[in-house]
């Protein structure tokens, strides 16, 4: 097992650090930035299905559902296709309206999650075209779907999902870009610049990982918190949900993710000087609005940890700590802002002496209801 961990103390830490390569493996052979092409057989062969779809319904569970939420922003913003994101466990039992004009995308790292599989079967029985985004090659969901694209993240052993999440977002970005170009929602020039920026992401993730030492110091300060709040807007709202989930899963600290602006309708009542609030406040994406949300937290004595773009000035002035990530285009920020939140949860769990790779009560893949 020590050999499998490749010198890291835990699989989770290894998998966090594998992300630059995992993301590169995800787009290898698919993203041809110089030629301005995205090649994905599963999409190319079924392009008409996607282009004629009334909407895309994404079904998933857990972290994969968070990747689905990020994809909702990506597909609607870039490709102008209406998207609904559903917990597979709710979708399968709520008698949903599905027709043969719907495309369903099922996201699953393991490809074995029982609820997701049942949602796929239901959608297929109603005539929808079902596309799978799985990591495990040959898994049940990969076989049950009409077509699909693997994430190629390599084995993920840690129960708390890390590289599966960022590689799912990468695949979904590739699909959205391909559709945006095919349906004319994106100009050739903008498409090219997206491809070039996506190609730079692995190096930027590598840079984001360099903040590890500083993140460990921040983790040490907040490790004894009883509750934490995670806030983000737009593309980074699902990242806030994922950040909170990571902390809950492995450190057993109660954490909630919320859209930053929605805070005033509830969670703001919880804020006092004992409440760390992790706020994603990158330059691209409602920056001024998030800064004013941060001021609202500050005036209630909350402790603010900002996830900011390198060189940020405004958040630094008001936050207790900032963690920097490199700059990128808005739709790709989740791939970077997720990294410090993964590391933070990891370090807090280690400091609290928790079983990081196999947290209590959780399973890597939930194959029963």
Which are the catalytic amino acids? 364
CB of 226 to ligand G6P, least distance (A): 23
If the CB atoms of residues 47 and 157 are measured against ligand G6P, the closer one turns out to be 157
CA-wise closest residue to 134 among 219, 213, 59: 59
- Give the CB-nearest residue to ligand G6P: 62
If the CB atoms of residues 116 and 167 are measured against ligand G6P, the closer one turns out to be 116
* Residues across the chain: 369
- Interface characters, 62-81, with ligand G6P (x: CB under 6 A): xxx-----------------
Q: On the CB side of 43, how many CA atoms lie within 13 Å of its CA?
A: 23
CB of 75 to ligand G6P, least distance (A): 19
CA distance to 66, 108, 202, 275, 279, per residue, from 240 (Å): 9, 20, 21, 16, 8
Considering only the stretches 32-40, 107-115, 304-312, 342-350, report the one whose residues sit in contact with ligand G6P under the rule CB under 6 A: 107-115
CA-wise closest residue to 174 among 350, 24, 354, 305: 24
CB of 315 to ligand G6P, least distance (A): 30
> In the set 116, 145, 309, 345, which binds ligand G6P (CB under 6 A)?
116
> In the set 19, 26, 110, 342, which binds ligand G6P (CB under 6 A)?
110
- Interface characters, 165-184, with ligand G6P (x: CB under 6 A): --------------------
Determine contact, residues 75/50, Cβ cutoff 8 Å.
no
Considering only the stretches 33-41, 179-187, 313-321, 359-367, report the one whose residues sit in contact with ligand G6P under the rule CB under 6 A: 359-367
If the CB atoms of residues 20 and 158 are measured against ligand G6P, the closer one turns out to be 158
If the CB atoms of residues 227 and 358 are measured against ligand G6P, the closer one turns out to be 358
> In the set 19, 26, 89, 108, which binds ligand G6P (CB under 6 A)?
108
CB of 130 to ligand G6P, least distance (A): 15
> In the set 124, 223, 289, 364, which binds ligand G6P (CB under 6 A)?
364
The stretches of the chain forming alpha helices (DSSP H) are 11-17, 19-27, 41-44, 47-51, 62-74, 88-91, 114-125, 140-144, 163-182, 188-209, 212-222, 237-251, 287-298, 314-318, 333-351
Q: How far apart are CA 299 and CA 148, in angstroms?
A: 48
CA-wise closest residue to 84 among 196, 134, 97, 93: 97
If the CB atoms of residues 63 and 337 are measured against ligand G6P, the closer one turns out to be 63
Q: How far apart are CA 189 and CA 319, in angstroms?
A: 37
- The DSSP string of 12-27 is HHHHHHTHHHHHHHHH
> In the set 26, 89, 109, 342, which binds ligand G6P (CB under 6 A)?
109
Q: How far apart are CA 362 and CA 47, in angstroms?
A: 38
If the CB atoms of residues 66 and 233 are measured against ligand G6P, the closer one turns out to be 66
CB of 238 to ligand G6P, least distance (A): 13
Residue 226 burial class via C-beta count within 10 angstroms: exposed 0-12, middle 13-18, buried 19 and up: exposed
Residues forming contacts to ligand G6P in the complex (CB under 6 A) are 61-64, 108-110, 113, 116, 159, 161, 362-366
């Amino acid at each position: 097992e020590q050999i499998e961990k490749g010198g890291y103390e835990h699989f989770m830490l290894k998998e966090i650090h594998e992300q630059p390569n995992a993301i590169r493996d995800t787009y290898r052979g698919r993203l041809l930035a110089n030629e301005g092409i995205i090649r994905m057989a599963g999409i190319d062969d079924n392009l008409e299905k996607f282009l004629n779809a009334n909407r895309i319904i994404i079904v998933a569970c857990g972290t994969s559902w968070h990747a689905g939420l990020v994809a909702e922003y990506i597909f609607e913003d870039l490709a102008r296709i209406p998207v609904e994101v559903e917990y597979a466990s709710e979708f399968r039992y709520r008698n949903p309206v599905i027709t043969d004009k719907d495309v369903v995308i099922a996201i699953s790292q393991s490809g074995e999650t029982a609820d997701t599989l049942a949602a796929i079967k239901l959608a297929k029985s109603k005539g929808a075209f079902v596309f799978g985004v799985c990591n495990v090659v040959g898994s049940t969901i990969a076989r049950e779907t009409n077509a699909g694209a693997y994430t190629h993240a390599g084995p993920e052993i840690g129960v708390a999902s890390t590289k599966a999440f960022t590689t799912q977002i990468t695949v979904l970005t590739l699909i959205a870009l391909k559709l945006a170009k095919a349906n004319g929602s994106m100009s050739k020039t903008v498409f090219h610049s997206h491809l070039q920026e996506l190609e730079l992401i692995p190096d930027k993730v590598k840079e984001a990982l360099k903040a590890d030492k500083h993140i460990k110091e921040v983790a040490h300060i907040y490790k004894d918190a009883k509750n934490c709040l995670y806030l983000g807007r737009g593309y980074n709202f699902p990242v806030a949900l994922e950040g909170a989930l990571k902390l809950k899963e492995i450190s057993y600290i109660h954490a909630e993710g919320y859209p930053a602006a929605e805070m005033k309708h509830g969670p703001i009542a919880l804020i006092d000087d004992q409440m760390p609030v992790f706020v994603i406040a990158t330059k691209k994406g409602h920056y001024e609005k998030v800064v004013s949300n941060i001021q609202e937290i500050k005036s209630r004595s909350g402790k603010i940890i900002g996830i900011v773009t390198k060189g940020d000035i405004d958040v630094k002035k008001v936050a207790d700590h900032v963690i920097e990530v490199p700059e990128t285009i808005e739709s790709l920020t989740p791939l970077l802002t997720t990294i410090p939140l993964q590391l933070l949860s990891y370090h807090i769990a280690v400091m609290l002496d928790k079983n990081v790779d196999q947290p209590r009560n959780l399973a890597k893949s939930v194959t029963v209801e």
